[in-house]
Chain A
């Protein structure tokens, strides 16, 4: 590795990543529409990408420094900049052409405050990108998530099952009630709109479905369907294939937190260093989080 920066001004961040597809998967998970502005925050711990919609929904992707082959961070404070999420993902996709190892270097800032990407593994066939960054919008609403009480109200469900349930609720649409109750321990999704649809997930009955459940008193909140939908619409196929779980927690005031795990392990090509069991190192996981605000007036079901 010969990457000691000799430039007059050292960039805030130079990092290298060997699994671009994993990063594409993780970032795509928070891509719920075509045009989305994202804010990227750099720190010594890693990269966080934040997207937000109408003060009610926030998506965050945490790419910890452990995911990177190399992570050189020299900035003071935490630099933040805005990019178009769609452009960033489409651009990263170009680096993950199948059948080729895709070691890329990410650097910020460039001479004109760009985010710079380049492939570093083959000097005679290189890809590069310079993405213009924007001054980030201030985030309109602070998504401080606080636990609702002493016992967290949470459950963990297979990502595939969660996605399926929320997809099915499209039919009633508009507003979805999520109810947790301790006796019998269960989670209920209920949609009332063009019709009624109720999906019950019972703890103990099917341990494959509901993996964990924490609840000491009944609680119920309504969320806009389109925001719930956004939290699962782009769960990467890798998370489903690897049979991962998603954790949902209800915090103070009904704020819903949805967490997915996305593998950013080395590309699937057989690798001599993978341990015998074939498990990936647990550190090579990107965390994707959504915060959804509940609907304020419980009586209105209008969209």
Chain B
């Protein structure tokens, strides 16, 4: 089992400034799953509860001279602490920047999988090692990782990953992630469960309802991907609640109940600076999905080499 690669400048920027801060909010520990062509950061795919988060990068987005080999179709997976990884990347960046503006920083940040005997241990332990060559110094940082996953566990992870690729039939685009985050953070004080309604008309309606209060935010006329419908014109004067209920009865909307905390966490992905975000509900209310879209810089074209989405467990199907 071997893995060795150089982090590209773009890769370092993506990880350090955008993805690792976002992924850190999803949970301390994640699986890093490396295949011949892709690197995945996976949260909660094997544990079943909690918010699942799937970040996928094409190898060239992050790495240069990417070499991987294993007896399991060149797939390697292990658990890693995101905050330690983030610290290692950050300090590598500061060492690299010793070069100043002049020289190229290419091929100065190597990462590889190693087994080492830590001090006071009798058993060698696996590490992900960062080797950074600065102007005057070279620094090696060993990030402790879990034992690489067994063949059966990797298969389980791959299966869970394949299952997590289902797309909702209707996706609505969130107008402003920061604003939604602000609302949700305030709604968190009022209750623990969030009712989410998504309609084919482009409505996104989130609501906290307890015995004492019903507090909600409704966004209407949002851009829709997938199945769409035209909103009935005679329901404009109705309350958000009755409009949503009628749309659900007509089969034009779905609703699920999720944890406010999970919803708020999913919004933390805005730290990865996506260009758009879409929410949708899977058939049979299996889960609430949020898909983040990244554009090729300077264009409105989807960057297919990066993908990020979260799946929120449903507490009560609507």
Q: How many chain A residues touch B (Cβ–Cβ < 8 Å)?
A: 20
Which residues does chain A contribute within 8 Å of B212, judged by CB atoms?
Answer: 84, 87, 131-132
What's the least CB distance linking A293 to chain B, in Å?
30
Interface residue B186 (Cβ < 8 Å from any Cβ of A): yes
B220 touches A125 (CB 8 A): yes
A91 touches B217 (CB 8 A): no
By secondary structure, the A interface counts as mixed
Which residues does chain A contribute within 8 Å of B189, judged by CB atoms?
Answer: 90, 93
Which of A87, A99, A125 contacts B217, CB < 8 Å? A125
Interface residues of A in 81-102 (CB under 8 A from B): 84, 87, 90-91, 93-94, 97-100
Interface residues of A in 183-218 (CB under 8 A from B): none
Interface residue B246 (Cβ < 8 Å from any Cβ of A): no
A128 touches B220 (CB 8 A): no
A124 touches B213 (CB 8 A): no
**A-B Cβ contacts below 8 A, count:** 61
Which of B182, B211, B221 contacts A132, CB < 8 Å? B211
Q: Which residue of B lies closest to A133 (CB)?
A: B212
Q: Which of A98, A128, A131, A132 has the most CB of B within 10 A?
A: A128
Which of B182, B190, B221 contacts A87, CB < 8 Å? B190
Interface residue A106 (Cβ < 8 Å from any Cβ of B): no
Interface residues of B in 179-198 (CB under 8 A from A): 179, 182-183, 186-187, 189-190
Which of B175, B183, B213, B221 contacts A130, CB < 8 Å? B213
The distance in angstroms between the C-alpha atoms of A155 and B183, with both chains bound, is: 42
What's the least CB distance linking B233 to chain A, in Å?
14
Instruction: Say whether, besides A93-B189, A97-B183, A98-B182, A125 and B214 are in contact (CB < 8 Å).
Output: no
Interface residues of A in 110-160 (CB under 8 A from B): 123-132
B213 touches A126 (CB 8 A): no
What's the least CB distance linking A90 to chain B, in Å?
4
What's the least CB distance linking B172 to chain A, in Å?
12
What's the least CB distance linking B222 to chain A, in Å?
8
B217 touches A90 (CB 8 A): no
What's the least CB distance linking A31 to chain B, in Å?
12
Write the A11-34 contact mask toward B (1 if CB under 8 angstroms, else 0): 000000000000000000000000
B183 touches A127 (CB 8 A): yes
Interface residue B240 (Cβ < 8 Å from any Cβ of A): yes
What's the least CB distance linking B119 to chain A, in Å?
49
B182 touches A126 (CB 8 A): no
Which of B187, B211, B218 contacts A126, CB < 8 Å? B218
Write the B204-240 contact mask toward A (1 if CB under 8 angstroms, else 0): 0000000111111111110000000000000000011
Q: Which residue of A lies closest to B215 (CB)?
A: A129
Which of A93, A100, A127, A129 contacts B213, CB < 8 Å? A129
Which residues does chain A contribute within 8 Å of B239, judged by CB atoms?
Answer: 128
B218 touches A128 (CB 8 A): yes
A94 touches B183 (CB 8 A): yes
A126 touches B240 (CB 8 A): yes
B214 touches A129 (CB 8 A): yes
B214 touches A130 (CB 8 A): yes
Q: Which residue of A lies closest to B203 (CB)?
A: A124
The distance in angstroms between the C-alpha atoms of A44 and B136, with both chains bound, is: 78
The distance in angstroms between the C-alpha atoms of A221 and B217, with both chains bound, is: 50
Which of B186, B218, B221, B240 contacts A94, CB < 8 Å? B186
Q: Which residue of B lies closest to A92 (CB)?
A: B186
Which of A84, A123, A132 contacts B220, CB < 8 Å? A123
What's the least CB distance linking A28 to chain B, in Å?
13
Which residues does chain A contribute within 8 Å of B175, judged by CB atoms?
Answer: 125
B220 touches A90 (CB 8 A): no
The distance in angstroms between the C-alpha atoms of A130 and B189, with both chains bound, is: 15
The distance in angstroms between the C-alpha atoms of A40 and B162, with both chains bound, is: 55
Which of B190, B215, B221 contacts A124, CB < 8 Å? B221
User: Can you list 9 A-B contacts with CB-CB less than 8 angstroms, sorted by A residue number?
Assistant: A87-B212, A98-B182, A123-B220, A125-B219, A126-B217, A127-B216, A129-B214, A130-B214, A131-B213
The 5 closest A-B pairs by CB, nearest first: A90-B189, A94-B186, A97-B182, A129-B215, A130-B214
Could you tell me which A residues sit within 8 Å of B by CB distance?
A: 84, 87, 90-91, 93-94, 97-100, 123-132
